[in-house]
Amino acid sequence: MDLNLKDRLIQERFPTIMVPRYEELPPCPLHHTRLLMARGGIYIDTRQPFGRLRRGLWSSDRDLPYGEVEEVDEFTVILRDPQVTAIFENVILPEAAAYARDNREWAGWIVRTEKEGYSYVALDFEASSARVVISERPLLPEHTCLVVDVHSHGTMKAFFSFTDDADDFGGVRLSVVLGSYSEEEGRHHFEYKGRAVVEGFYFDLEAEP
């Protein structure tokens, strides 16, 4: 059966792969995301320039007639990368703190290029005590990808709202929200929540200091 153009584009962009039982599973192509039907259930599998992530979405109550796969997580370590932690300490926390002291939210991006690694991108946004609205999302240069999307709730608790869920619906990246701002001995303190965003599926990251 011939598929219409829209269905063909969807299946090319987001295919479902039956995991081979007697052969090796071909690697996920770079910049692609796919669903895997495996022996134990359904997994989402993505490969981006900043790492791979494979997580289970649904577990079958009996073995299915396909091969086995294991979960993979190369996203969690991104927040511990020295370049990323330096961006948080030197740029993001001071910027978010300045807005928090003015009782406003804040937003910014961390992007990655193959040659230069991670860097900060300032956003044009309007902020109030209850929301932050990005005026226009910047067009990233070729071979540059968004890795961490950060926003701050200021002194309010760190959590992902329904608005955040809608904003994070598409694409693949990490999303971080800062909250409960305080300042002690000249140092900025935030609590944070982090999650991996994979084409509308969200996977919480364990928070660290």
Reference 49, options 79, 28, 71, 19; nearest CA is 28
The pLDDT score that the predictor gives to residue 207 is: 55
Report percent pLDDT > 90 for the chain. 75
Mean of pLDDT values over 161-181 = 92
Of residues 133 and 186, which shows the higher confidence score? 133
The amino acid occupying position 169 is F
Tell me the CA end-to-end span of the chain in Å, nearest whole number: 54
Q: Has residue 1 got a pLDDT over 90?
A: no
Lowest mean per-residue pLDDT among 6-10, 65-69, 173-177: 6-10
Model pLDDT for residues 13-72, shown as the tens digit of each residue: 889 999 999 999 999 999 999 999 999 999 999 999 999 999 999 999 999 999 999 999
> Is pLDDT above 60 for 125?
yes
What's the whole-number mean pLDDT along residues 84-112? 96
Neighbours of 15 (CB within 10 A): 12
Q: What is the pTM of this model?
A: 0.90
Longest dimension (CA), the chain: 68
Between CA 9 and CA 20 the distance in angstroms is 24
* CB contact set of 24 (below 8 Å; sequence gap of 6+): none
pLDDT tens sequence across 180-197: 999 887 788 999 999 999
Compare 112 and 165 and report the one with higher pLDDT. 112
Side-chain-side CA neighbours of 25 within 13 Å: the count stands at 21
User: 162 or 83: which carries more pLDDT confidence?
Assistant: 83
Closest to 26 measured CA to CA, from 73, 64, 67? 67
Q: For the stretch 158-177, what's the b/e string if a residue is b when 16 or more beta carbons lie within 10 angstroms of its beta carbon?
A: bebeeebeebbeeebbbbbb
Q: What is the pLDDT of residue 208?
A: 54
CATH 3.40.980.10 fits 77-205, yes or no: no
**Quick check: 86 pLDDT over 50?**
yes
Residue 102 has pLDDT above 70, yes or no: yes
Secondary structure class of 6 (helix, strand, coil):
helix
181-191 per-residue burial string, b: 16 or more CB within 10 A, e: under 16: beeeeeebebb
Delimiting residues of CATH 3.40.140.10 domain(s) in the chain? 77-205
Q: Please, is 13 exposed, middle or buried when counting C-beta atoms within 10 Å of its C-beta (0-12, 13-18, 19+)?
A: exposed
Asked whether the beta carbons of 149 and 174 are under 8 A apart, the reply is: yes
